[in-house]
Structure 1
Amino acid sequence: MNERKEKLDRRGFIKGAAVVAGAAVGSAALAIPLSRQPVLDAEYPEVPENKVELAPNGKSVLIIGGGLSGLQAGVELSARGFKVTILERSGTPGGKLKSWRDRHFGPTDDPAKNDPAFPGYIREHGIHAVWGFYNNLREFLGRHGWRLAEMPNEASIYNFLDKDGTESHLRNCNWPKPYDKIQLLLNAREVKHLPESERNDFVRLAVRLMSFDYADPQQRAYMDSMTFLEYGRKLKVSEPLIHKICDSLLEMAYFDNVDQVSALTLANIFQLVAGATDDMKVNLYVNPVGESFLQPMVDYIRARGGEIHYHTEVTGFEKKGERIDRVLAAEIPAGSGKGRVRRCSICGNLIFDGMEVGHECPFCGAHVDMLRDVTEAERSTRVWKADYYISALDIPGAKRLVEANLATLGDMPYFRNILGLHAKSVYVTNLWFDGKGQWERKIRDADGRPAICFFATGFQHLGITVNRSLRVPFPDGKLMSWSAEYPDRDVTVIETQIAKTDLVAGKPTAEIADLCYQELKSVIPDLPPPRSAYVNRWTTYTGYRVGDEGRRPPVQSPIDNLLFIGDLAFVPHPAVFMEKTNVTAKWATNLILDKAGIKEGRIKILVSGTPSVVTDLMKAATQVQV
């Protein structure tokens, strides 16, 4: 019975693929546009009604957390006349997007360190790519003139490298629309990580996932009810496909693995990139992002009368009736003030005497230069009041705040669900090597150029791995480079993002660096020992374990003037990652405009990805449920 069912399933797939291909060709002949919303075809979608700046309206909003969602909400609300105050427990804006300068990275004999004015090398949370399907974030960036770095048309990040040396590549598609998706499915058949007999499985899996409709609550609940490993086995796709290709994609996007994450994860990504080739392409922020994007948002808010207070951790809520009346900020716990107390300007944690690990923050790994003494004023309770309150915290921060104030907020399912969410860790490791050429000779893209990065498969420690010191020319005349600091110097700087943090938790930086070096050396044999290294230890990424999607809190809490935003929140919208921070910030802005009775300035929220004839045909030809 199962064998017969599988044969029927494969026959249905072949028939469905033929329908997709045939209909796509027909639609091209009839000149049906790729997108049903032409505004989405622009690199920075323009929405004229979102370009508003209103006079002060006398209403105030307090935002807890100065990460990406908090800053974006602050910009949108400031533009619409609200007095915005942001309280951020660290000393730097941007949350998981932040960057700073580190004078200690690099060897001691680095000539740059002889210059007293040298600010240090850019050290960031980790390299972040802005996918093409981030329509709302791109609209926001374009509206304010905060442009991304240009990328060559042929630059692809989808290079897969196995520990045994096997290479696979997914090229950027260049066929005319809408043939490009047929080209993508054909490219998927060239993945050398899989035996030729199993490559159709990749196409079959891709078509299934591309048919996912996040707006359908039943599909959403179905995919959130099992791990991706369980889903792949239900679909009877090959184990190498699940454990190599899918696992490496999940490590890059979610810092997790197929046996842990909800099947919803890749389903949502695949359906977001299904509409147009440009949705799969990526841009980078102009480096450093703290100076090109984050600080400009801070400046925008302050220029409109807003305030941002760093080293200020909100620990409590007080209610008056059914509304939040005020918040209490960052009293140092009783009994801890006997010795020196510092706060890390990067992660915001309190550091008491003796907690340092060598010259590093014991929590995030930043150099001790980034620790700042807590002032006497900061040791006492401070009180802040506003008309509306927004929590823009990451999952660990939101859980701490909610758990400490559950009696005040009300022991309701909304807040209990927040306590049930999972967070994920990633250790971002950067290694400095003398010389150039070792990577360039061994790590190549589909056209034989030096690859800018690779998705690691079969390794214990390496995750998505990037050469930050590479500059690659492309036929369109554009250059691909992750950073402007290193390409003209005879050095190689490699970043890898370790998703399996349980294997390295508690280990010192030197040991983690050596574990990564040994694995790099297995594929780049002539790579010399690293001269310098750092490890950013982050524990604040949003988890996507089974059931998490059903636990996510809507933006509006049961308390009328308290909202929650960021990628931990739920909106009936398929946005993910940085795109979701933008969507929830806009969503909250519209809710507050309604509450304040202000009819002007509502933000039009775009779909993420590109609705198209291709996605319609995918959904008509198959379904995501097995």
Structure 2
Amino acid sequence: MSQVFNSPESHTISRRALLKLFGVGAATGVLGYSRFTKPKPTVFQQDTLNLPRILNQQKSVVVVGGGLAGLACAYELSQRGFAVTLLEKSPQLGGKIASWQIEVQGDTFRMEHGFHGFFPQYYNLNTLVAELEISENFKSLNSYSVVYRNTKYKPEVFRPSHSAFPWNIVDLAIASPNRFRWGINLTKLKHLQVFQAIGGFEREKNYRRFDNISVADWVEEEFPRGLYDLYFLPFAKSSLNAPDTMSVAELMQFFHFYFFGNPEGLAFNGTKDDMGTSLVQPIAKAIQSKGGKIMTGVIVSEIQAAQGKINSLSYQVGNNTNNVPFWVKRNDNVETRHGASLQYYGAADEVFALPDGAQEVISLTCTHQGCTVKMAEDGKFHCPCHGAVFAADGKVLKGPAQRDLPKFKVVQRQDDGLQLIGANLNSVSPEIIQADYYVFATDVPGVQQLFRQINGDVNGVVRSPSGALHSVQSQVEKLSLADPFAVCRFWFDRDFEWQHSYFTSLSGYQLTDSITLYHRIQEQFIEWAKRNGGSVVELHAYCYKEKQFPNQEALLTTFEQELYEIVPELKQAKMLHRELVNQKNFSGYPPNSYAERPETSTNISNLVFAGDWVKMPFPCGLMERAVSSGLLAANEILHQEGLQRRSLLSVSPEGLLQI
């Protein structure tokens, strides 16, 4: 069945005619209807027949990956009668919205990978929340601010809206204290083209026109500087992709979804508690209530395939997972202590040190809280987060860490990469599971690793929009990662005055892109602050450059310096504790990547993909992109079984100013 958009509202005037009217200032009367009538979500319609919803025979599905994409897929299929098994590598579910327990001076908290906003146009995620009856787990943050280090720009404040484009632009201009600094001159052809490009989104045309250039290169030409400083730069980075490595087409899609095609405004909700408690656990319970099986701490060791299908999957749990080989790439950005003969591999929170001539590497992930240790001038590895010290061979010398740094054997070398395997192997046979369908819903490194574990031929061929043929495996291998992100959360012994929103985007700093006041959002921190009179503040760097910040010590130092600049009152406060999260696993959307991006369907009959790296057929972003991809994966399996697919929603699929 064809996949089409079915808009609840029809256009009474052609877009070309509307653009002409808009250009001569006569569009006000024509667009008055959209000014006072709130547009409805667009339905991504897939089925026109009334099909059965519940499976009437026994079918099984294995979902690999317990982030939002995998959880959404497993949820939908479990509610439809499938026997679902969900496998997650980490100790906890949730992926980038996972949470885990930490101890701070005798108190227990739940730590996360950074604050996430739940926007009103997250229609599919919000529908899931409504079905689970957990709306009370969220609270409105009422407004959203962007504060600029460059003092020539005053803070921007975004609030809920009831108008679609172009009235949301009009409202923004009226409310913006920087409206005379936008630098837009529509009598200039380049400026007019920019305005049309961001207001005339059309998915395939957009990617054909703009996917070959980076945002940084695009704005090098005659581009309204104020528009870039005020909106493009902070919002581009909030996609977790840096302007120099992000496709303009992807940014256009991002802007269309979050603003130009979005009638909801930019205010959003936050979770009253951590996201694991507020969202992940309810989804997991719903899966289990229908008989679904969830396993964490699982490593897939082998995938058997034959005749273009996956036949079985082998996995290991817990301490028996270190005999699964994996690849890491050379990292020349890590600074080496003078005189030390070490080569470094991996990135972010998974870095390995290889002494010259050695056949074993040492993991530099601290065994206390997962920070990356660094070799100091004394020749020992020091943890920058909590002070643990390890000898040059990885043995723990000083707590709070209690276990030595893990070691891995070098299996083989290839170009700038190493294949590693655990040095202390346990001879335990893996578990084998067979299913009718398999869903790969991991992050980019995870799905690439899964394809390396396949024995047999599943190299299905797909045709890109350009007509070129690509194998599924080559598509997966070409997936990109964004620059690493880092989050640092601080506990202080006093509160401070703050005139902006409790989550505020920051622009112009060397590292920091946002600040979150957790002691004014989440209950666990609100209660702690009431008892202690303190504050809990988080800084987030969305996409930093590893050459500028080659280790976590550099991250911590810069975060702390910038925090005291952002909130000078905290210079007089006592820092009680800090937690750092540093990872490189967010999907990258670089130029020329769209054509070969994998879709949900893989041309391997019993394998589907889900994740924010999947090519999406309608506008979406961040958490909504992950959830929507998971529901699309579930729909693909439902369709193969002749069941009614779930209706998915999005903002208007096209911009108003198409020409």
TM-score, normalising length: structure 1: 0.76
Aligned pairs for 1:87-486 (under 5 A) are: 87-103=87-103, 105=104, 108=105, 113=106, 118=107, 120-147=108-135, 149=137, 151-152=139-140, 155-162=142-149, 164=151, 166-172=153-159, 180-187=167-174, 190-191=177-178, 195=181, 207-215=195-203, 217-234=204-221, 236-243=222-229, 245-252=231-238, 254-272=239-257, 273-330=259-316, 332=321, 355-357=364-366, 359-362=368-371, 379-405=428-454, 408-410=457-459, 413=470, 414-424=472-482, 425-437=484-496, 439-440=497-498, 444-445=499-500, 451-470=501-520, 484-486=526-528
CA displacement 1:323-352 (0-9 Å, x = unmatched): 11001224745599xxxxxxxxxx999999
Q: CA–CA distance in 2 between the matches of 1:19 and 1:578?
A: 39
Q: CA deviation at 1:427?
A: 0.7
Q: CA deviation at 1:485?
A: 4.3
Range moving further from structure 2, 69-78 or 321-330? 321-330
Q: CA deviation at 1:122?
A: 1.9
Instruction: Extract unaligned runs of 5+ from structure 2.
Output: 1-18, 326-348, 354-360, 374-384, 387-399, 407-421, 462-469
Q: CA deviation at 1:83?
A: 0.3
CA displacement 1:124-150 (0-9 Å, x = unmatched): 111111112111111121122121655
Q: CA–CA distance in 1 between the matches of 2:51 and 2:624?
A: 19
Q: Select 1:25's aligned residue among 32, 37, 50.
A: 32
Structure 1's 205 and 462: CA in aligned 2 closer, same or farther, altered over 3 A? farther
Note if contact 1:261-1:544 (Cα within 8 Å) is conserved in structure 2: yes
1:519 is the counterpart of 2:562: yes
Q: CA deviation at 1:84?
A: 0.3
SS at match of 1:574: coil
Q: Paired residue for 1:500?
A: 544
Q: Which has the higher helix share?
A: 1
Structure 1's 14 and 88: CA in aligned 2 closer, same or farther, altered over 3 A? same
Structure 1's 185 and 228: CA in aligned 2 closer, same or farther, altered over 3 A? same
Note if contact 1:98-1:290 (Cα within 8 Å) is conserved in structure 2: yes
Note if contact 2:164-2:261 (Cα within 8 Å) is conserved in structure 1: no
Q: Paired residue for 1:595?
A: 640
Q: CA–CA distance in 1 between the matches of 2:457 and 2:567?
A: 57
Q: Which has the higher strand share?
A: 2
Q: CA–CA distance in 2 between the matches of 1:196 and 1:238?
A: 7
Q: CA–CA distance in 1 between the matches of 2:113 and 2:64?
A: 20
SS at match of 2:101: strand
Q: Paired residue for 1:73?
A: 73
1:63 is the counterpart of 2:54: no
Note if contact 2:70-2:441 (Cα within 8 Å) is conserved in structure 1: yes
Q: Residue type matched to 1:230 in 2?
A: D
SS at match of 1:292: helix
Q: CA–CA distance in 1 between the matches of 2:280 and 2:288?
A: 13
Q: CA deviation at 1:66?
A: 1.1
Provide the identity percentage.
Answer: 20
Q: Paired residue for 1:491?
A: 534
Q: Residue type matched to 2:533 in 1?
A: D
Note if contact 1:173-1:183 (Cα within 8 Å) is conserved in structure 2: no
Q: CA–CA distance in 2 between the matches of 1:64 and 1:348?
A: 21
Q: CA–CA distance in 2 between the matches of 1:57 and 1:349?
A: 47
SS at match of 1:81: coil
Range moving further from structure 2, 162-171 or 84-93? 162-171
Note if contact 1:361-1:368 (Cα within 8 Å) is conserved in structure 2: no
Q: CA–CA distance in 2 between the matches of 1:203 and 1:96?
A: 37
Instruction: Extract unaligned runs of 5+ from structure 1.
Output: 1-11, 41-46, 337-346, 446-450, 472-479
RMSD value, Cα: 4.0
CA displacement 1:61-99 (0-9 Å, x = unmatched): 011111111111111001111000011111101111101
Q: Residue type matched to 1:464 in 2?
A: S
CA displacement 1:11-32 (0-9 Å, x = unmatched): x99953835544323665xx7x
Q: Paired residue for 1:339?
A: none
Q: Paired residue for 2:6?
A: none
Q: CA–CA distance in 1 between the matches of 2:502 and 2:278?
A: 22
Structure 1's 175 and 594: CA in aligned 2 closer, same or farther, altered over 3 A? closer
SS at match of 1:513: helix
CA displacement 1:35-77 (0-9 Å, x = unmatched): 255999xxxxxx9x99998366310001111111111111100
SS at match of 1:427: strand
Q: Residue type matched to 1:144 in 2?
A: L
Paired residue total = 548
Q: Paired residue for 1:564?
A: 609
Structure 1's 145 and 406: CA in aligned 2 closer, same or farther, altered over 3 A? same
Q: CA deviation at 1:195?
A: 3.7
Q: CA–CA distance in 2 between the matches of 1:269 and 1:126?
A: 20
CA displacement 1:336-380 (0-9 Å, x = unmatched): 9xxxxxxxxxx9999998744373325698996999999998953
CA displacement 1:451-509 (0-9 Å, x = unmatched): 313322221111122121236xxxxxxxx989544452411222111121415654345
Structure 1's 275 and 595: CA in aligned 2 closer, same or farther, altered over 3 A? closer
Q: Residue type matched to 1:452 in 2?
A: Y
Q: CA–CA distance in 2 between the matches of 1:325 and 1:532?
A: 49
SS at match of 1:141: helix
CA displacement 1:265-285 (0-9 Å, x = unmatched): 331122223345424221123
Note if contact 1:332-1:379 (Cα within 8 Å) is conserved in structure 2: no
Q: CA–CA distance in 2 between the matches of 1:225 and 1:396?
A: 24
Structure 1's 462 and 415: CA in aligned 2 closer, same or farther, altered over 3 A? same
Note if contact 2:476-2:598 (Cα within 8 Å) is conserved in structure 1: yes
Range moving further from structure 2, 66-75 or 288-297? 288-297
Structure 1's 13 and 544: CA in aligned 2 closer, same or farther, altered over 3 A? farther
Q: CA–CA distance in 2 between the matches of 1:506 and 1:319?
A: 40
Q: CA deviation at 1:204?
A: 6.3
Q: Residue type matched to 2:441 in 1?
A: A
